[in-house]
Copies of this chain bind each other. A is one copy, B any other.
Amino acid sequence: MARKSLTKPRKMASQKRSRATVDALVEATARILVKEGFDKASTNRIAEAAGVSVGSLYQYFPTKESLVAAVIERHQQEIMQTVRGELTGILAQPVEQAIRMLVTVAIKAHRVDPKLHRVVAEQIPRVGELEKLATFNRENYTLFMAYLAQHRDELRVEDLELASFVCVTTIEALTHNAVLHHSKMMSDEKMRALVDEASRLIIGYLKG
């Protein structure tokens, strides 16, 4: 199957060597992004760091943008894996416990490679393909709304959608800022205090 001018999307890796190459590229991109910053992350430099040639890079990623997108996607997958692992347990909990655990897991999620998270949030311009990347995942939003629906009678909320928006946005912002911009102030005591405060904030809101 010869590919003549397949300029748009490159083909999948099928042999295991090539899968290793793809992994190395994504890994190297993440490393360069963190250590050198977005504007130093040229495709040639990335290929070199990955120990492969630029040509190989373009075998699997049609554009630099798509490579960066792959890094972001992988990072989001890792975060969602962390979250999903705890989520089933959380959803069975009563409101007070659930919210507190949710805040805790949100902090945990932001501590999965926080350096990369910061680069993604602050240095990578959302242009072109990256434009549609949601800052916080829609999945969280939907799941949270489902939980609210289940506990509706215990709660003082009329508009579930609005309440979900408020809660998810708030938890995301608080944990994001705490972990990524105040990590020194937030070592141990303070972080527990933050969990307390954030939980009180949300629970107070939900239970009136």
User: A9 at interface (Cβ–Cβ under 8 A)?
Assistant: no
Interface size on A, residues (CB 8 A): 33
User: A193 at interface (Cβ–Cβ under 8 A)?
Assistant: yes
SS class, residues of chain A in contact with chain B = helix
Would A127 and B200 be within 8 Å (CB), given that A172-B173, A193-B159 are in contact?
no
Return the contact of A197 from the options B124, B128, B163, B204 (Cβ within 8 A).
Answer: B163
User: A174 at interface (Cβ–Cβ under 8 A)?
Assistant: yes
Copies in the complex: 2
Q: Please report which residues of chain A, range 132-156, place their CB below 8 angstroms from some CB of chain B when the two chains form the complex.
A: none
User: A1 at interface (Cβ–Cβ under 8 A)?
Assistant: no
CA distance A191 to B127 in the complex (A): 28
Q: Please report which residues of chain A, range 175-208, place their CB below 8 angstroms from some CB of chain B when the two chains form the complex.
A: 177-178, 182, 190, 193-194, 197-198, 200-201, 204-205, 208
Return the contact of A194 from the options B122, B162, B172 (Cβ within 8 A).
Answer: B162
Return the contact of A125 from the options B124, B193, B198 (Cβ within 8 A).
Answer: B124
Would A173 and B169 be within 8 Å (CB), given that A125-B38, A205-B200 are in contact?
yes
B-binding residues in A (CB < 8 A): 37-39, 122-128, 159, 162-163, 165-166, 169-170, 172-174, 177-178, 182, 190, 193-194, 197-198, 200-201, 204-205, 208
